[in-house]
Amino acid sequence: MSNSSSVIDGDLAQPNNREAAEKSRTAASCRFCGAPLSVTFVDLGMSPLCESFLSANQINKMEPFYPLRVFVCSNCFLVQLEEYVRPEDIFSEYAYFSSYSDSWLDHARKYTDQMAHRFVLGTNSLVIELASNDGYLLQYFVDKKIPALGIEPAANVAKVALEKGVPTLVQFFGTDLARMLGASGRRPDLLLGNNVLAQVPNLNDFVEGMKILLKASGVITMEFPHLLRLMDENQFDTVYHEHFSYFSFITAERIFAAHGLMLFDVEELPTHGGSLRIYACHSDDRTKHVSAAVGELRQREQDSGLGRLERYAAFGENVKETKRKLLEFLIRARNEGKKVVGYGAPGKGNTLLNYCGIRTDLLDFTVDRNPYKHDKFLPGTHIPIFPPEQIRAARPDFIFILPWNLKDEIMKQLSFVREWGGKFVVPIPEVKIYT
Ligand SMILES: [Zn+2]
């Protein structure tokens, strides 16, 4: 490797540091089993942190980019990103407010109904949510008078939860906090986490923390995007720096088992392009029965090759093909004089736009319902973000839906674009136009 591609100061002055850096780069190890990581799952190049929206006075400054190279562990098949950025730098001030999506709120409300019924939760129970965000979910338990506690590291979103009357601790979760809560007698009957397991750099400490905290007869539910769906449907844009791990059922089961937890049920959900909701209990809890869904999904994943390294190594080629097709569409639209604007400013949109090199030359602007993002710019691509009303004013020919997992909801909200013949474009699993 030549010096020209590395950081000049540190490298030229301190060759030992360079060697050390090179060694640590090649010696990355699996965050679950510790085996060295050498097989690439997909390499999406360099990208900024996907939630680091820029204000007008920041767009002329330097912007940090980090690698988005995803590995698969050849020992346990955990698909993972190295920890390039500390969670403290990502999650302390977070721009994602769960309550800005109607369908996600609806999902949360239904979940609380189901769990309260299935596990007979009442005024003497305790529900703890890890990464409880703005209280989007726990508010429904609070409404039912079921005691709830949120744990959320981002102070700005936790503040919103507290204002809603949802008790919330502003902290990262792990074995330390679990011991502290356990010692104060706050052991949950239901311990849940939606889309947090993927975002934990120290996975073993997090899962061990759940083991320590959970009541003897308690239940853990975790939701996370399903790796099988990511691979089958080419959802490469769900890769970003905030997502350290990507789970199949079989890998999740192995990780939980290593910490004395057993998966006794699983549901497949449509959220985030296809997620799993796993149900776990203590391995020695004889009150739970393992559902048929567990064996069925385990077998389906084995049959589709998730126990073989070659299956993972083939993924990168599909991703390159998708990029070429998307650029072909956008370039053709531009050449024909069409106006294309975006809808949404989700994390996945930033991975997609940066990887494909789509800037204002191909996408005039995007819009978002979250006022926190208005008059800011997307990281890396510097595409401006406006309120949704801007679409009516601009009368675009195409609306490029970045949060494609919410496409039905968005197309309904924006049905007025048909007044002028506007159409929708969805990029994943492949470019598709909806009239
Ligand atoms: Zn591993």
CA distance 233 to 34: 29
> Could you list which residues have their CB under 5 Å from ion ligand 1?
30, 32-33, 35, 73, 75-76, 78
CA distance 109 to 46: 38
The per-residue pLDDT string of the chain (435 residues; one tens digit each, 9 = 90 and over) reads 333 333 333 333 344 454 544 444 456 899 999 999 999 999 999 999 888 899 999 999 999 999 999 999 999 999 999 877 776 666 656 556 666 677 788 999 999 999 999 999 999 999 999 999 999 999 999 999 999 999 999 898 999 999 999 999 999 999 999 999 999 999 999 999 998 999 998 999 999 999 999 999 999 999 999 999 999 999 999 998 888 999 999 999 999 999 999 999 999 998 878 999 999 999 999 999 999 999 999 999 999 999 999 999 889 998 999 999 999 999 999 999 999 999 999 888 999 999 999 999 999 999 999 898 999 999 999 999 999 999 999 999 999 999 998 899 999 999 999 999 999 999 988 899 999
Rounded distance from Cα 241 to ligand 1 centre (Å): 19
pLDDT, tens digit, 9 for 90 and up, residues 351-405: 999 999 999 999 999 999 989 899 999 999 999 999 999 999 999 999 999 999 8
| CA 389-395-397 angle, 5° bins | 130
Rounded distance from Cα 17 to ligand 1 centre (Å): 27
Token pair, residue 45, equals 């190049």
Rounded distance from Cα 2 to ligand 1 centre (Å): 31
CB contact at 8 A, 171 and 151 = yes
pLDDT, tens digit, 9 for 90 and up, residues 337-348: 999 999 999 888
Distance (Å) of CA 130 to CA 154, 195, 308, 327, 405 = 12, 9, 32, 39, 23
